[in-house]
Amino acid sequence: MITRQRLNARARSVPNPIAAARALTGPSDPDRIEDPVIAWMQRGRTVLGLVAVTWLTLAYPLREGREDFVLGKLEELLTGCAVVVVASVIGVGLCIILARAPLGRVYTRRLVGPLLALAAPVLGVGVIWLTTAALKGDLISPSDVGPHDITFGLFGSFLGTIFTGLLIMLLFVVAALVCVVVLVAAVLFTLAALVVGLNSCFRAGDVHEVLPALLSPLLVWSLFGFQLFDGPDVAAPPEVLYTFMLGGPLSVSALSLWEIRRLRTRYGVTLGSLLGR
């Protein structure tokens, strides 16, 4: 008999897609300097940003429908990821090329973490596409199997075909349920990988601790420019709207400067050390 404790233990043993995404896209290099205050400030910045967005959308009416708002936020998330990826590739590439020996080889060896962080959302999107195609019947459907008799005529041709058809239908129902579970897990994994990866600049800090502080302002100011181009999401007064839009880039830029200063004063990590100067 399965007790409640065993059920709870089995439930806890099921892989958590959000935890898996955090493990792949969050900073985890053992050689990296981990400052708890910097990590706490970064998490607090993310939470305050989410609170500010929630308050703004609840306090003022949306200019477009909720579906368009959600799609717009997803588009901003993907745009931010694209900006960070391009900037990270350029920045890390320049560091490898311009850094004094043997730093170039050290940075190259540290690329495993950022590559895993980049591969995580791609893997999630691939699983989402695969499960969606399976649920739509694009990969295989009951009609593709065709009428067969797996009983070898034990119950007669007619009854055997019916039995086989029912069994195949049951298998497809079970497979559909599994696909739904995998699809939900893949969506959670992908969203978490994008958010955590964006917050960690896709583990660019595994290459050098200063890189996230250099990339974060570029990200937020780029998103600020996209927001100016696309127009506001809510019908708020201009003073509220522009205070909100400028608050994110200014606060992130100030936090990045503070982070660079703290790394220099407490750990001796400077911008010059990025290139071995």
- Structure confidence by residue, pLDDT tens digits, 91-126: 888 888 888 878 888 888 888 888 888 899 889 999
pLDDT given at position 182: 92
Is the pLDDT reported for residue 26 higher than 60? yes
For tokens 């009951």, what's the residue? 142
Return left, alpha or beta for 270; rule: phi > 0 is left, psi -120 to 50 is alpha, else beta: beta
For tokens 């069994």, what's the residue? 167
143 phi and psi, to 5 degrees? -70, -25
Per-domain residue ranges of the chain: 19-24+35-274
Q: Contact at 8 Å (CB) between 252 and 45?
A: yes
pLDDT given at position 159: 57
Q: Contact at 8 Å (CB) between 96 and 108?
A: yes
Return left, alpha or beta for 16; rule: phi > 0 is left, psi -120 to 50 is alpha, else beta: beta
For tokens 């043993």, what's the residue? 13
Q: Contact at 8 Å (CB) between 113 and 28?
A: yes
Instruction: Tell me the pTM.
Output: 0.77
pLDDT given at position 146: 56
